[in-house]
Structure 1
Amino acid sequence: MLDVAKIRAITIDLDDTLWPIWPTIERAEKALHDWLVQHAPMAAALFSSPSALREIRDYMAASRPELKNDLSAVRRESIRLALYRAGENPLIADEAFTVFFNERQRVTLFDDARPALEFLALRYPIVSISNGNADLERIGLAPYFRAAISAREFGVGKPDPRIFHAAAGAAETMPEAVLHIGDDATLDALGALNAGMQAAWLNRSDALWPHELEPQVTLTNLAELVDLMR
């Protein structure tokens, strides 16, 4: 059971918790492809091939393991590799990535996201924890947050307890006084539990809980959490 009296801070995931990520990524990849068609058509053809794209990503994962927590760097260097393999100028990879990244920040919030953030931010410091590369300033949500902890900047990602502990530190409290909210059963909910936090699993898709250790609360939307914490 959720112990509301113990909560002194909130940590929250971003992608698929506050907005659906795949429509965003699909728009960003289309923007990137359209740009490449104009500026590097041979590389655009590579990115149109699922098998070629999969091979590039697998190659990057194997050859640049130090980038595993930096999705921006993985994306940018994958573009650079595609340009090189296509015989086109790899120096335009940064510009191409900027096209992708700008579109990636154009998210569409779930209807319950902003009202929940407004409610929670009036009562608790909120810190985001993300393995992704969303930019809260550019998205327009930064005013609700005390801090943003990303795997790219911190060096390790969820479910490692250290990133949860760093977020608790950013909220100036101990892990046991934090409620973490997120959609991923393993990365978010189990990760938070193993870090000593309470966990609210946001299960929008009616999935089955896959672990023996269970979260304090399971939600189908963030409005339910607001009701619990009034």
Structure 2
Amino acid sequence: MQIYKQLQPIQTLSFDLDDTLYNNKPVIAAAEHAMLQALGQQLPSKIKTDNAFWLQQRQLLAIANPEIRHDLGRWRLLSLEAGLLRLKFNQTDAKNIADIAYSAFLQQRTNISVDIKIKQLLAELAKYYKLIAITNGNACIDKMDIGHWFEFSLQAGPDGRMKPYSDLFLNAAKQLKLAPAQILHIGDSHRADVIGALNAGCQTAWLDHHNSSISILPHIRLTDVHMLKGLIANN
């Protein structure tokens, strides 16, 4: 653990989820595969689509409606519907097929196994701090069997604009009835997690997976999330 700024008293630890508590890449890959399988079962055999096609639909929708980016789930669902309309399906069929494909995606997207050592870490930290989750994605802490250690989880879209906007951090502070500076946010994204948390007035711990160079420093830098045990030693 590298300390760049003196930590002020901490009441709550706020965790990013994707690529902080687990590797998210295989999760998304499995979810997109499930989505394509569901689409393949619904579309006529002559219609073939792939991830590149659906990514293009998401990009087109974001150009037309930039604010949709703040709700990743709704963005994906509406881009599925928009793509099906471009494939000449009528509105009703496009909506129904999009719902089926997105449900398949979401089922796999929330099928996340958290390593037992991470669960042990959360259980130990929860003895000393309140824990919350703040995520730009749509992973579910209850389905991951870690929700019982958390006060709540906030998601971009339903609970505010995505990080690095301050919405989710300030929402959390309001719910906790704390000053933002009493929250230490832990995450792997320098832009979303470090800059976002600092802009909101929170303290921040950056989980640096790639030994990256940065100009804006977090309060502390971690190369392994288990380094957070050091907070307990100083509690």
Is the TM value for this pair above 0.5? yes
Matches within 5 A, 1:52-201: 52-88=53-89, 89-90=93-94, 91-110=96-115, 112-201=117-206
1:31/1:100 contact within 8 Å kept: yes
Tell me the residue number matched to 1:209.
213
Q: Please state which structure has a larger fraction of its residues in helix.
A: 1
Structure 1 residue 19, shift from structure 2 partner: 1.2
Q: How many residues align?
A: 226
2:128/2:232 contact within 8 Å kept: no
Gaps of 5+ in 2: none
Tell me the residue number matched to 1:229.
232
SS for the counterpart of 1:109 is coil
Deviation track 1:38-60 (CA, whole Å, cap 9, x = no partner) reads: 111469622x162x333212211
Deviation track 1:187-215 (CA, whole Å, cap 9, x = no partner) reads: 101221222222110112x331322x311
Tell me the residue number matched to 1:16.
19
Structure 1 residue 184, shift from structure 2 partner: 0.5
1:128/1:167 contact within 8 Å kept: no
1:20/1:108 contact within 8 Å kept: no
SS for the counterpart of 2:70 is coil
Does residue 34 in structure 1 map to residue 17 in structure 2?
no
SS for the counterpart of 1:107 is coil
Gaps of 5+ in 1: none
Structure 1 residue 179, shift from structure 2 partner: 0.8
Bigger shift: residues 72-81 or 134-143: 134-143
Deviation track 1:36-94 (CA, whole Å, cap 9, x = no partner) reads: 11111469622x162x3332122110123332211111111111122222234202211
1:36/1:44 contact within 8 Å kept: no
Instruction: Report which structure shows greater RCO (CA 8 Å, sep ≥6).
Output: 2
SS for the counterpart of 2:143 is helix
Structure 1 residue 223, shift from structure 2 partner: 1.3
Q: Which amino acid aligns with 1:118?
A: A
Structure 1 residue 10, shift from structure 2 partner: 1.0
**TM-score of the superposition, structure 2-length normalised?**
0.87
Structure 1 residue 111, shift from structure 2 partner: 5.7
With over 3 angstroms needed to count, the CA separation of the structure-2 counterparts of 1:43 and 1:8, relative to structure 1, is farther
With over 3 angstroms needed to count, the CA separation of the structure-2 counterparts of 1:220 and 1:111, relative to structure 1, is farther
**TM-score of the superposition, structure 1-length normalised?**
0.89
Q: Distance in 2 between matches of 1:42 and 1:19?
A: 36
SS for the counterpart of 1:153 is coil
With over 3 angstroms needed to count, the CA separation of the structure-2 counterparts of 1:209 and 1:195, relative to structure 1, is farther
Deviation track 1:106-161 (CA, whole Å, cap 9, x = no partner) reads: 11325642122111112111111111111222222211111111111123121122
Structure 1 residue 4, shift from structure 2 partner: 5.8
